[in-house]
Structure 1
C-alpha cells in the first residue's frame, strides 16, 4: 500500500514537470477576456430578464 502511494506521488511529480505553465501576460489577457465576456453575458441576461418582466407585468395588468 505504501509503495503504491509512493509510486503515485512520484508519477504525479513527473507529470507536473511536463506541464507548460502560462506566462503572466497570458494569464492576464485570459482573465481580462473572461471578465469582459462575463460582463457582456450579464448585461444580455439582465436586459432579457427586464424585458420579459415588463412584458409579463403588462399582460397581467391588461395594458
Structure 2
C-alpha cells in the first residue's frame, strides 16, 4: 500500500498538459507519421521500379 501512496503522490507533482496542448502535440505526431509513411512508400515504389528495370 505504501508504494501506491507514493505513486499517487508523485502523480500529483506531474505537470499535465492542457487539452489544447495535447491535441496540438497529437496532430504533429499524426502528420509526421503520415509524412514518413508517404516518404517510405515513395522510396519503396521507386526502388521496385529501378530493380525491375535492372533485373530485365
Same fold (TM over 0.5): yes
Greater C-alpha Rg: 1
Into which bin does the TM-score normalised by the smaller protein fall? over 0.9
Aligned to 2:7: 12
Q: Which runs of no fewer than 5 residues in structure 2 stay unpaired?
A: none
1:49 is displaced (CA, Å) by 0.3
- Residue deviations 1:19-61 (CA, integer Å, cap 9, x gap): 1111000011001101110111011101100010001100111
**After the TM superposition, which parts of structure 1 deviate over 6 Å for at least 4 consecutive aligned residues?**
none
Taking only aligned residues, the RMSD between alpha carbons, in angstroms, comes to 0.7
Paired residues in the alignment total 56
Q: Scaled by the length of structure 2, what TM-score is found?
A: 0.93
Q: Which runs of no fewer than 5 residues in structure 1 stay unpaired?
A: 1-5
